Amino acid sequence: MKRILLVILLSICSVNPILSQGGSNYSIFGLGDINSTISSGYEGVCGTSVALPLASTVNLTNPALISQLTTTRLVTGYRFNQNYIISEKSSLFQNNGYINGLVIAFVFDSSKKIAASLGLIPSTKVNFSIAKNFETQYLEQKITGQSTYNGSGGLSNFFLNFASKTICGISLGGTLFGNFGKILYSNDVTYPSSYTFATYYDQEDYFSGIGYKLGAFYEINNDFSIGAYYGDYGKLSLKRYKRYSSELTKDTAFVEEMEINPPRSFGLGFSYKTGKFIFGADYKLLMINDLNYSNSTFNKFKNGSEISIGAIRFGNPSRRADYLDQVDYRFGFAINNLYYEVLGQNVNEYKVSFGAGFPFAESGLLDVAIIFGNRGTTSNGLVSEYFGRLVIDFSIGETWFKPFKREY
């Protein structure tokens, strides 16, 4: 497994994004799209993950749930997003793809449910491309032009997580993570006339900070479980480089530094097992209404929330069973009230998901999730986005630590 880890690290370092034409235009607001789920196993149930224990999938939502893993696991994956954007006057396809992080979880004692994990994962994503034609009057001369806005980047975090089942039967977990990342913005204004000059604006924002997350999970009985978490991004430090230029004048550059109010999050979830099936439901709250980043007169920030439900049909663990019977099948549905208002209008997201976990070798797992959904509306000058997301995770597991010997 250590040799495989080295191969994966080298392959990730050599990969360049092959699809980066654009993504969700709503990622222009705030810190972009915020995703707490990340892993394909939980994306298959639309992010339902606060109280949904999976023995072979690393849970990145509730820190306490890594205690439910049965083997040390190495996970990496890839995410592809396809967006179809519709306005009142036009439509456009945009897509992007990127590595979905690298995570390793260590199970020190499966009987006592003591585990830890560390990794590097994306936490927010900005990826948009918007072009707008305009017309203005100057000295009785009508001037037409085009303004193009582009944005890319986002925040990532490196995290350390530890979890254990306590004497009273409640599993507790905590995560410490370092936030870092870069968001790039540009605005190019061009004119077709020969007597006008194009202007350019570029902005590079660099972030850093430390945050934490705490989680709890409790199996009330063999069938019913409850979980909860609270997270705080911590104060984010921002260093901004701005540059103005045109075809007529020299470049003008500025540097700014400021502190960004941190988002906070809370989640509560339930799950119920019966036979081969487990059902879950989550409520997640994103407390971000005081965000002082990427503000404008067109939008304001508010607390966001998400409600999701999911169901999993567990595969037969016997390798003698038919292969299709060994596969885990997952389904989910979610409603997400996003954390911004645009022109006084809420932006909501609705999505459904389908997923499957394909076992291979003794403890390998290929997780695949497909999500379809819609966000926004074409009314009041906004856009409606239909999206499809494909998330693929590859994980392998081994028993690195034998359970402690105990005398009873």
Q: Looking at 55-59, 178-182, 286-290, which range is the least confident one?
A: 55-59
Q: State the first-to-last Cα distance of the chain, in angstroms, to the nearest integer.
A: 34
In contact, 332 and 48? CB cutoff 8 Å: yes
Mean pLDDT of 66-86: 91
CA distances to 84, 124, 155, 160 from 210, rounded to whole Å, are 36, 15, 12, 12
Higher pLDDT, 316 or 297: 316
Q: Is the pLDDT of residue 377 over 50?
A: yes
Q: How far apart are CA 97 and CA 391, in angstroms?
A: 10
For residues 356 and 329, the answer to whether their CB atoms sit within 8 Å is: yes
What is the band of 22 on the pLDDT scale with cuts at 50, 70, 90? Answer: low
- The pLDDT value recorded for residue 18 is 30
How high does pLDDT run on average in the chain? 87
382/178 Cα distance (integer angstroms)? 35
Q: Grade residue 16 by pLDDT with cuts at 50, 70 and 90.
A: very low
pLDDT at 295: 80
Taking CA atoms, 208 is separated from 29, 191, 241, 292, in Å, by 19, 38, 15, 15
**DSSP letter, residue 20:** B
Taking only the tens place, the pLDDT of each residue in 119-147 is 999 999 998 888 888 777 776 777 788 88
- DSSP E strands in 233-327: the ranges are 236-246, 252-260, 264-274, 277-287, 299-301, 304-313
Assess whether pLDDT exceeds 70 at residue 321.
Answer: yes
pLDDT on residue 402: 60
Quick one: average pLDDT of 42-46? 95
> What's the predicted TM-score (pTM) here?
0.87
Please choose, from the candidates 176, 175, 277, 272, the residue with its C-alpha nearest in 3D space to the C-alpha of residue 222.
272
Q: For residue range 225-254, list pLDDT tens digits in order.
A: 999 999 998 889 999 999 988 877 777 888
Position 112 pLDDT exceeds 70: yes
What domains can be seen in the chain, in order of their start residue? 2-398 (2.40.160.60)
Cβ 202 vs Cβ 246: under 8 Å: no
